[in-house]
Structure 1
């Protein structure tokens, strides 16, 4: 008996030493009829009401003699774990658990009485919608799983937990639908997560960069979303989601280049409207990338392409500009990026005022001072608006950065330089993969049946098959023959 007491005392002392005698670490001793019970917990991480009512009062009411097994069976706590490993005990105390040990017992009991700090459910900030659910994920992993299960109440929905990070251990959930997702994709995700050897992962966006197929590419290879309905829609198409604790965004993989220009609102709108909006987004992106370089190329090398009436107007507008077109364009593009970054970092109301007033004042002042022409102000503004049509913030940022090297190529070789930039860009996109799957699918490799999931939208009855690109197990969503039947009430 004395040996057991010394061993138990040593475990408690080791835990205290392992936490460097933190002032938050509280040790509570209780004695009942000669039996001594010790409780260890970090006071700032536990729920005091649950600790008092569910743990302390229950210990007073348990029939003697007290044992670890009796405590585990009697105390009304959902998560209970009998343990004597110092490392496991310490890790659980950091997460808000309480450790209860009886001096006559070799094992102790870990009880989950943690109080998580989380915000309430709110509207999505980075993905605004007109139609559809507005709720977004939060920083709590358990809350996010609950939201997901409310959206996908399928018994085949799998949520597998993994722990990443050596020092700051972070729970991660891999979610997919068992009979739809490709097992090879699931295994690839598990393997990449298990091979991570890092101290800490601060956010899902950091984890996505660690899982990238091509780390040096400017293009994002995994889709980030904070909308539960977008994750649900992706899971039903055979994709995989990765939820990270303390992060409100979810990683969706594998993904394609065209997925970054889709929104869940495309599903809620009529197919004609969705198709037009998708085409407008693609045209906006092309405008954002190539409009300024085309201006530089034409003004520098290809005056013959400009109509004579417009050429006179442009010549008059640029007569006071002392810079060549490339410096003029780079100066304005840099100014727009500064305004955008300043507006994003300032408080909301101040940022909006800064963007509007700053853009108008600086633009007008630049024209009056002879630093730029009126035409280039219009072109750069259109380019900026085109980049904002991308629903994904990461893809929009990549598009804005692409403008600068293509402007330089246009200044060096004119339209030939732009063609060279387009060729390099296409070759790079053809080489990219997402989770080992082609990034430009369904264009390369070409899959006609998947075009309705990327470039255009069709009526709902045409979506009876899931995307071939995701290599799903269950290919059919519903019967094509049944979808064509239309029955009235009097039939």
Structure 2
């Protein structure tokens, strides 16, 4: 007869064993850790062993729900009687040492009754975790304000709360040879593309590493091209963004002890979408999204174009502006390319210093440092005031991207563009653009082209990528990612208007 609530192991047997022998094996397996507690009780003429790591279990629950019922009276215990008596679930029957140790380090309490063929572990972990708060990396004005935390249980709770459907699947995986980390593959079973789910599952299962530090390093292990500077999976701290992507048919990954969720597949243009766009009116959301794409071009090309024009192509500059540029650069002893690189490096230094210092000090350093150093550089004749404006506009444009990863990528790309424009002019800029396009055409995300919906061309998805339409025109999900169900809601019901009295 199968015992209630028990899962059996299938490898080398450890039990039955004498109490003394079991104590010795457990102490050796735990390397005589001072936090490892073993308590030996004699109850009703039989010995019962209770063992746990003291700093990671809930003491109150241990005393009230395990020790108190166990020590009550002179009852003769068996494993099955113990399971029925203790007011706890999730008990696991163990017969091998490595599984017992794995359970202990995850916050379980082990109980062994002498001469029984198995011992029982009860998970009662006492996990330190911060409360749900706003996201620092992805700030939004409209829409939900909560963000993921380092607790996987809390993160799954927020996703379940938003998507209260039985169609939501959360597959559990353990990755890490030395330090196993729990990872959840999250998707909607009847919506997500089966090929995408299988590809992500296979990449996670095939991963062999010592440990997973966070969701961000995990993406470097499983992404399509580890040598590309462009991120191929979207990383978010917002449960709203995560759940919205799942409802569009994509696949998500959550990692224990990480406040970041992974979304795949994704395209280059997904990094310029924000959950805030969904909560705005369609015309305002479209304007802001298009503005971000223009900001991308400005951030990458404005400074290189300035350097190329002043170095090789004076004829493209209007005469009144050329006179102003000449007067501004009259006292500058450096060529435009060196001048631009100097200021770009200065901006990056200020940005990095502001990010690493405490919040209030970092803001002061960024503002005061930029003003003081910029004015001093112009007064000393090291740079022109017009270039300071150009570099400042480029820096501001790079911060408009909702994703920190793509903003950092754009800032790095700007440096080789400036160098090539300083040596080859517009030819260098065009060569750089051609190289970037060729590279992006080769990049994929979970096997999907990175430049969707431009390449391959999917015109129906432009309204979901580059701009937005009213909700009654947005009846279908994205064709690019091939979800199982394309229809979001029927066309007739979308335009049907009802009075309050109907």
Give the shorter-chain TM-score range.
Answer: over 0.9
1:9 touches 1:103 (CA, 8 Å); kept in 2?
Answer: no
Looking at structure 1, the residues matched to 431 and 291 of structure 2 have their Cα atoms a distance apart, in angstroms, of 25
Determine if the alignment matches structure 1 residue 408 to structure 2 residue 419. Answer: yes
Aligned residues: 489
Determine if the alignment matches structure 1 residue 88 to structure 2 residue 61. Answer: no
Determine if the alignment matches structure 1 residue 484 to structure 2 residue 457. Answer: no
* 1:256 aligned residue (263, 267, 270): 267
Deviations 1:55-89 (A, max 9, x none): 10011237732112221222112221111210000
Looking at structure 2, the residues matched to 203 and 452 of structure 1 have their Cα atoms a distance apart, in angstroms, of 34
Instruction: Quickly say closer, same or farther: Cα 1:359–1:428, change in 2 above 3 A.
Output: same
Instruction: Quickly say closer, same or farther: Cα 1:323–1:102, change in 2 above 3 A.
Output: same
Instruction: Quickly say closer, same or farther: Cα 1:4–1:335, change in 2 above 3 A.
Output: closer
1:124 touches 1:135 (CA, 8 Å); kept in 2?
Answer: yes
Instruction: Quickly say closer, same or farther: Cα 1:326–1:4, change in 2 above 3 A.
Output: closer
* 1:375 aligned residue (361, 381, 386): 386
Looking at structure 1, the residues matched to 192 and 16 of structure 2 have their Cα atoms a distance apart, in angstroms, of 52
- TM-score of the superposed pair, with normalisation by structure 2: 0.96
Looking at structure 2, the residues matched to 149 and 6 of structure 1 have their Cα atoms a distance apart, in angstroms, of 43
Determine if the alignment matches structure 1 residue 455 to structure 2 residue 466. Answer: yes
Determine if the alignment matches structure 1 residue 425 to structure 2 residue 436. Answer: yes
1:11 touches 1:84 (CA, 8 Å); kept in 2?
Answer: no
Determine if the alignment matches structure 1 residue 210 to structure 2 residue 199. Answer: no
Looking at structure 2, the residues matched to 423 and 333 of structure 1 have their Cα atoms a distance apart, in angstroms, of 23
2:299 touches 2:397 (CA, 8 Å); kept in 1?
Answer: yes
Determine if the alignment matches structure 1 residue 318 to structure 2 residue 329. Answer: yes
Residue 286 of structure 1 corresponds to which residue in structure 2?
Answer: 297
Looking at structure 2, the residues matched to 5 and 180 of structure 1 have their Cα atoms a distance apart, in angstroms, of 48
Structure 2: 5+ residue runs without aligned partners?
1-13
User: Shift of residue 481 of structure 1?
Assistant: 1.9
1:166 touches 1:197 (CA, 8 Å); kept in 2?
Answer: yes
* 2:169 aligned residue (138, 143, 158): 158
Looking at structure 2, the residues matched to 33 and 10 of structure 1 have their Cα atoms a distance apart, in angstroms, of 21
Residue 337 of structure 1 corresponds to which residue in structure 2?
Answer: 348
2:44 touches 2:74 (CA, 8 Å); kept in 1?
Answer: no
Residue 146 of structure 2 corresponds to which residue in structure 1?
Answer: 135
Residue 149 of structure 1 corresponds to which residue in structure 2?
Answer: 160
* 1:351 aligned residue (362, 381, 387): 362
Instruction: Quickly say closer, same or farther: Cα 1:281–1:383, change in 2 above 3 A.
Output: same
1:465 touches 1:478 (CA, 8 Å); kept in 2?
Answer: yes
* 2:232 aligned residue (197, 217, 221): 221
2:350 touches 2:370 (CA, 8 Å); kept in 1?
Answer: yes
Larger deviation, residues 105-114 vs 343-352: 105-114
User: Shift of residue 7 of structure 1?
Assistant: 4.3
Instruction: Quickly say closer, same or farther: Cα 1:21–1:287, change in 2 above 3 A.
Output: same
Q: Aligned to 1:201, what secondary structure does the other structure show?
A: coil
Larger deviation, residues 6-15 vs 374-383: 6-15
Looking at structure 2, the residues matched to 183 and 422 of structure 1 have their Cα atoms a distance apart, in angstroms, of 35
User: Shift of residue 475 of structure 1?
Assistant: 1.1
Determine if the alignment matches structure 1 residue 35 to structure 2 residue 46. Answer: yes
User: Shift of residue 452 of structure 1?
Assistant: 1.3
Looking at structure 2, the residues matched to 439 and 5 of structure 1 have their Cα atoms a distance apart, in angstroms, of 57
